[in-house]
């Protein structure tokens, strides 16, 4: 009975998702999470707001009504997601607070039914957790409104709360969300695909749980449904709902810009592979990559490593992995760019076991000679026994035994030479007189 219960519980659990992680910019990671059952397609961007190259950009009022891809092209953005809920009568009036480049929208004040995310020009960002109207802070440079608070310290939107907002919350839909973690130093953007049978999306409570699982301390729901879109490095990465084959124009957007000229550090990355750095079929996963500066990381399943915020200058890269010889190389790191340094590791061969290799060829001559020594047949090693207890014996298995060698008999050197010659007799039909017992002095 217990086994049946256990199997029932396991059957109800979702299949673990597979994450594909890339780093399109220094301090920016993009994760495509694909889950087989139930089918989910989720896109996650995390951004280190402490990096000098990164800035936050929201839509100006004059820039409203563009698709996320169009807005990305307009401002040359690194990442863009759709923003607030809006009026669909063609005016693109947002439902909540909207500020672009330090200027609030005249038709986008905060409302009691909306929350928002606001950031200063110095990337100090906060998410509104109150349930009241908030006056605009003059330090806010960018702001985008949202709808429901998903989580905050000590609280999360749970499944029993889904019924409070009807079909919008209880039905699986495409979703967009924004969150903050690491005390506001890291921004998290999420787009969940949906309305693409069998990819249906998430409930609001499930979206909240997802943001919590990503480490967010506070998170906010942005507009969803057909508006949910993510663009990374100028390309849309999220799929469209079945009923909307084209990208939807939205009121405003939340974007991240990346300025290489503002960089004070560079990014160091590369592959660790076995024997040949160009052999993509031989990645070394789980290798430890350590810099002379003390920074370190571990290679992915693809053998890739990435180290952000590396100071410019020469740095030594050392790679270690159990079962491989460690390897080191140097790299001159430049600020504001990707600095590649791939390293090949050589596998450590297992040492031979004790005695291995010392008895090659043993056996061919052991059964035919009757001498007292233990010969090794056609092997290349020295005999173990001795003739007449005084000199080493050599038995090639061809005669009656090495009793006449040494100790006053046939000189030992002659015996050794004779054996060497006679061993070749097997491969020839030509008679070699000295290989006869009488000629060898062994009869």
pLDDT digits (tens, 9 = 90+) for 121-162: 999 999 999 878 888 999 999 999 999 999 999 999 999 999
Q: What is the pLDDT of residue 312?
A: 94
Task: Determine the distance from the C-alpha atom of residue 380 to the mean position of all C-alpha atoms in its chain, rounded to a whole number.
Answer: 51
Tell me the pTM: 0.69
Assign 271 a pLDDT band (cuts: 50, 70, 90). Answer: very high
β partners of residue 34: 18, 41
Region of poorest pLDDT, from 145-154, 269-278, 322-331, 343-352: 343-352
Has residue 324 got a pLDDT over 50?
yes
Measured CA to CA, the distance from residue 250 to residue 170 in angstroms comes to 24
Mean pLDDT (whole number) for 269-294: 97
Mean pLDDT (whole number) for 272-276: 97
pLDDT digits (tens, 9 = 90+) for 200-222: 999 999 999 999 999 999 999 99
Has residue 428 got a pLDDT over 50?
no
- Sequence-separated contacts (24+) of 154-162 with Cβ below 8 Å: 156/208, 156/209, 156/212, 157/204, 157/205, 157/208, 158/205, 158/208, 159/203, 159/205, 161/204, 161/205, 162/203, 162/204, 162/205
Assign 4 a pLDDT band (cuts: 50, 70, 90). Answer: very low
Mean pLDDT (whole number) for 238-247: 94
Structural contact between residues 317 and 345, judged by C-beta atoms closer than 8 angstroms: no
Task: Collapse the DSSP code of 120 into the 3-class scheme (helix H, G, I; strand E, B; otherwise coil) and give the result.
Answer: strand
Region of poorest pLDDT, from 42-46, 106-110, 266-270, 383-387: 383-387
Q: What is the pLDDT of residue 143?
A: 97
Q: What is the pLDDT of residue 167?
A: 92
Q: What is the pLDDT of residue 416?
A: 54
Domain boundaries along the sequence of the chain: 16-261, 264-347, 386-440
Task: Collapse the DSSP code of 387 into the 3-class scheme (helix H, G, I; strand E, B; otherwise coil) and give the result.
Answer: strand
Region of poorest pLDDT, from 243-257, 272-286, 383-397: 383-397
CATH superfamily to which 264-347 belongs = Carboxypeptidase-like, regulatory domain (2.60.40.1120)
Q: What is the pLDDT of residue 332?
A: 97
Segment of 13-17, 50-54, 411-415 carrying the highest mean pLDDT: 50-54
Average pLDDT, the chain: 83
Q: What is the pLDDT of residue 413?
A: 53
Q: What percent of the chain has pLDDT over 70?
A: 75
Has residue 394 got a pLDDT over 60?
no
Assign 296 a pLDDT band (cuts: 50, 70, 90). Answer: very high
Number of neighbours of residue 250 by Cβ within 10 angstroms: 29
Contacts of 55 (CB under 8 A, 6+ apart): 121, 123, 256, 257, 258, 259
| Cis peptide preceding 237, ω within 30 of 0 | no
Q: What percent of the chain has pLDDT over 90?
A: 68
End-to-end alpha carbon distance in the chain: 83
Whole-angstrom Cα Rg for the chain? 38
Q: What is the pLDDT of residue 250?
A: 98
Counting Cα atoms < 13 Å in the Cβ hemisphere of 415 gives 26
């Amino acid at each position: 009975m217990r086994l049946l219960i256990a199997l029932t519980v396991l059957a109800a659990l979702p299949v673990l998702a597979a994450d594909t992680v890339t780093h399109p910019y220094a301090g920016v990671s993009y994760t495509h999470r694909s889950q087989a059952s139930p089918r989910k397609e989720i896109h996650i961007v995390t951004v280190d707001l402490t990096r000098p190259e990164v800035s936050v950009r929201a839509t100006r009022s004059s820039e409203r009504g563009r698709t996320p891809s169009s807005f990305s092209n307009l401002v040359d953005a690194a990442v863009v997601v759709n923003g607030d809920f809006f009026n669909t009568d063609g005016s693109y009036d947002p439902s909540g607070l909207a500020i672009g480049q330090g200027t609030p929208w005249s038709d986008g004040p905060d409302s009691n039914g909306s929350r928002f995310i606001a950031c200063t020009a110095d990337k100090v960002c906060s998410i509104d957790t109150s349930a009241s109207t908030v006056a605009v802070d003059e330090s806010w440079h960018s702001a985008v409104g949202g709808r429901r608070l998903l989580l905050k310290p000590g609280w999360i939107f749970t499944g029993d709360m889904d019924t409070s907002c009807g079909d919008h919350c209880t039905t699986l839909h495409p979703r967009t969300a924004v969150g903050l973690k690491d005390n506001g130093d890291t921004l998290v953007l999420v787009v969940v695909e949906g309305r693409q049978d069998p990819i249906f999306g998430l409930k609001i409570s499930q979206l909240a749980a997802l943001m919590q699982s990503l480490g967010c301390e506070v998170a906010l729901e942005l507009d969803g449904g057909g508006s949910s879109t993510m663009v990374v490095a100028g390309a849309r990465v999220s799929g469209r709902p079945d009923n909307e084959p084209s990208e939807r124009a939205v009121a405003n957007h939340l974007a991240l810009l990346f300025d290489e000229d503002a960089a004070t550090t560079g990014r160091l990355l590369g592959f660790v592979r076995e024997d040949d750095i160009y052999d993509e079929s031989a990645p070394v996963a789980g290798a430890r990559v350590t810099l002379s500066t003390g920074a370190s990381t571990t290679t992915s399943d693809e053998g890739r490593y990435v180290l952000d915020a590396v100071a410019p200058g020469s740095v030594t890269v050392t790679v270690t992995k159990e079962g491989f010889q460690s390897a080191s190389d140097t790299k001159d790191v430049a600020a504001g760019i990707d600095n590649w340094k791939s390293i090949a590791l050589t596998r450590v061969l297992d040492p031979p076991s004790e005695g291995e290799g010392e008895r090659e060829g043993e056996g061919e001559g052991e059964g035919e000679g009757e001498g007292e020594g233990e010969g090794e047949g056609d092997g290349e090693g020295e005999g173990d026994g001795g003739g007449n207890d005084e000199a080493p014996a050599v038995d090639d298995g061809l005669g009656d035994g090495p009793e006449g060698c040494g100790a006053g008999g046939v000189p030992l050197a002659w015996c050794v030479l004779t054996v060497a010659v006679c061993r070749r007799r097997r491969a020839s039909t030509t008679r070699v007189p000295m290989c006869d017992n009488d000629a060898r002095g062994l009869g």
